Amino acid sequence: MKNLINTSICFFVFTIVSFGQTIVDVINQVNIDSLTLTIREFSGEEQTIVNGNAVTILNRQQANNDLAADYLVQRFQEYNNLTVVDQPFNTNGRNIIATQLGQTSPNNIYMICAHYDSVANYCADDNASGTTAVIEIARILSEQCLDNTIVYALWDEEEIGLLGSNFYANLAQANGDNILGVLNIDMMGYDGDNDNDFDVDVRQGDTGSIGMGNDVVAILNNPAYGFNLNVNVVNPGTSASDHASFWNRGFPAVLVGESWENNDQTPFYHSSGDRFSTLDLPYYHQLTKIIMGYMVTKGGLVNFSNLVTVNSNVLTANQVGANYQWINCDNNMPIAGETNQSFTATVTGNYAVQITSGSCTETSDCIELDLLGVEDFEILENVNIYPNPATSTLNIDLPNYKTAQYKILNINGKTVLSNLMKNKTESINISSIAQGVYFIELIVDKKIATLKFIKN
């Protein structure tokens, strides 16, 4: 699902802040509201829709978590550029795996993973927190072209012996997968003493794992990112979560999460008291951003823009020299013939652009353009402008007269004339403006009608 950004063509010319293009931009797209909604849905605090039904995901115990697994499949399928695999490994066990293929080095694989099963109701910290962070990072990173492949993995049956991750790591070893780093998250939302400490658990004597720990510390300490958490690198780290399945098969892996090292893990561990309300959201948000920083750095961000500039009703992709296809977000269909860098909307709707250069394709946010038509507003009903085209005088006729403001904008959205309408019919001298296409806006009670005319 793309973010919907509301704009109005009526007043402003501005740039939409969309998916970013630098590492710090991508880090800063990690959104606390998005995290909050997902973790609340996934830990039974509020209803969500799964397979078209309104449901509450209260419990994710192993024999009872198909609803949770279906939710995860559905979430990954909402994003572009991911291949989603529902991987059963025993009667009840289902890993949910999404793969984003690298553009230049698809055989170089970095994994971000978390277990989604639980031992009781709710279990927000253990481990809806890690699961949600994986989804949030997938939401954002899936819109970026990366050199390397990212695998987003959500494991089942961690709580009864790391079964899901063991199954996967076995296959990966047999396939000879070139996994260069596995970042496992298990419990990352609790900071009871508010000291902002978190743990990175590495494997003693394992240069790959220790190197990953160093890389996470480097992200934390990069002044450009502005983090204020503190890290304990735990060596030897615990083997009590899914990263151990990868350690045991020679893959570099770490565990990132709240601080067991400082004895500051959730006191509601493995109980139905482990609920959303006990989490520290700013801490959780920052820790997710640090993990995003690691993933986007290792993924190898390709310098390619999917930003769009909005200029009145004209949308322009910032990326030059690419191939473009404009899309109607309301039906998710390409708009026939709209393959230029700019697109002029003629009707109210939601629009995005798919930008392709070489093997790299990115999609912009959906941008809502509200081309408020005269028919929308009683007061603006039957408004008429004439003649059209006009040469020296343009008349506006507003039958249901009320004090109104008019603005004449050129094709770039710049206001060239503006005044109040003092009568039901106003004659505007337009002899001073250049020939071309213009828009006239009538503004009544903050409602706006936009009409197009031509100056000859």
- Helix (H/G/I), strand (E/B), else coil: 176: coil
Interacting residue with Zn ion among 48, 127, 144, 312 (CB under 5 A): 127
The token duo for 199 is: 């743990």
Report the nearest approach of Zn ion to the CB of residue 123 (Å).
8
Half-sphere exposure in the Cβ direction for 129 (13 Å, CA): 33
Report the nearest approach of Zn ion to the CB of residue 187 (Å).
6
Task: Decide: is 258 part of the binding site for Zn ion (CB under 5 A).
Answer: no
As to burial, measured by CB atoms within 10 angstroms (0-12 exposed, 13-18 middle, 19+ buried), residue 318 is middle
Burial code (b: 16+ CB inside 10 Å, e: under 16) for 36-74 equals: bbbbbbbbbbeebebeeeebebbbbbbeebebbbbbbbb
Which of the 8 DSSP states describes residue 312? T
Using CB under 5 A as the binding criterion, the count of chain residues that bind Zn ion stands at: 3
Report the nearest approach of Zn ion to the CB of residue 66 (Å).
19
Per CB under 5 A, the segment of 75-83, 185-193, 325-333, 438-446 that binds Zn ion is 185-193
Task: Decide: is 126 part of the binding site for Zn ion (CB under 5 A).
Answer: yes
Site for Zn ion in 397-436 (CB under 5 A): none
The residue among 3 and 238 lying less far from Zn ion, judged by its C-beta, is: 238
The residue among 119 and 367 lying less far from Zn ion, judged by its C-beta, is: 119
The residue among 126 and 261 lying less far from Zn ion, judged by its C-beta, is: 126
Per CB under 5 A, the segment of 77-85, 180-188, 217-225, 356-364 that binds Zn ion is 180-188
Per CB under 5 A, the segment of 43-51, 139-147, 178-186, 197-205 that binds Zn ion is 178-186
- Give the whole-angstrom CA distance, residue 186 versus residue 62: 17
Number of residues in the chain? 456
Neighbours of 241 (CB within 10 A): 27
Per CB under 5 A, the segment of 23-31, 125-133, 165-173, 325-333 that binds Zn ion is 125-133
Report the nearest approach of Zn ion to the CB of residue 94 (Å).
17
The residue among 253 and 396 lying less far from Zn ion, judged by its C-beta, is: 253
Report the nearest approach of Zn ion to the CB of residue 166 (Å).
15
Sign of CA dihedral 191, 193, 194, 198: negative
- Give the whole-angstrom CA distance, residue 381 versus residue 196: 59
Task: Answer whether the bond into residue 236 is a cis peptide, omega within 30°.
Answer: yes
Task: Decide: is 206 part of the binding site for Zn ion (CB under 5 A).
Answer: no
The token duo for 127 is: 């481990």
The residue among 116 and 343 lying less far from Zn ion, judged by its C-beta, is: 116
The residue among 156 and 186 lying less far from Zn ion, judged by its C-beta, is: 186
For every residue of 333-377, DSSP letters joined together read: EEPTT--SSEEE--SSEEEEEEEEETTEEEEPPEEEEE---GGG-
Report the nearest approach of Zn ion to the CB of residue 206 (Å).
22
Q: How far is CA 23 from CA 26, 35, 141, 152, 271, in A?
A: 5, 19, 11, 19, 38
Per CB under 5 A, the segment of 118-126, 138-146, 269-277, 279-287 that binds Zn ion is 118-126
Which distant-in-sequence residues (6+ apart) come within 8 Å of 62 by Cβ? 92, 93, 117, 156, 157, 159, 160
The residue among 131 and 144 lying less far from Zn ion, judged by its C-beta, is: 131
Which of the 8 DSSP states describes residue 259? -
Q: Of the candidates 453, 444, 312, 423, which has an alpha carbon nearest to the alpha carbon of residue 374?
A: 444
Site for Zn ion in 19-58 (CB under 5 A): none
The residue among 167 and 439 lying less far from Zn ion, judged by its C-beta, is: 167
Q: What are phi and psi of 357, to 5 degrees?
A: -140, 120
The residue among 127 and 350 lying less far from Zn ion, judged by its C-beta, is: 127
Q: What is the separation of C-alpha 298 from the centre of its chain, rounded to a whole number of angstroms?
A: 19
Interacting residue with Zn ion among 136, 186, 338, 362 (CB under 5 A): 186
Report the nearest approach of Zn ion to the CB of residue 156 (Å).
12
Site for Zn ion in 349-388 (CB under 5 A): none
Per CB under 5 A, the segment of 122-130, 176-184, 203-211, 248-256 that binds Zn ion is 122-130
The residue among 35 and 317 lying less far from Zn ion, judged by its C-beta, is: 35
Per CB under 5 A, the segment of 85-93, 126-134, 291-299, 421-429 that binds Zn ion is 126-134
- Residue in the structure block whose two tokens are 């820790």: 287
The residue among 270 and 424 lying less far from Zn ion, judged by its C-beta, is: 270
Per CB under 5 A, the segment of 120-128, 222-230, 384-392, 440-448 that binds Zn ion is 120-128
Report the nearest approach of Zn ion to the CB of residue 127 (Å).
4
Report the nearest approach of Zn ion to the CB of residue 158 (Å).
6
Question: Strand 148-155 to strand 105-115: parallel, antiparallel, or no bridges (unpaired)?
Answer: parallel
Task: Decide: is 157 part of the binding site for Zn ion (CB under 5 A).
Answer: no
The residue among 127 and 148 lying less far from Zn ion, judged by its C-beta, is: 127
What residues make contact with Zn ion under the rule CB under 5 A? 126-127, 186
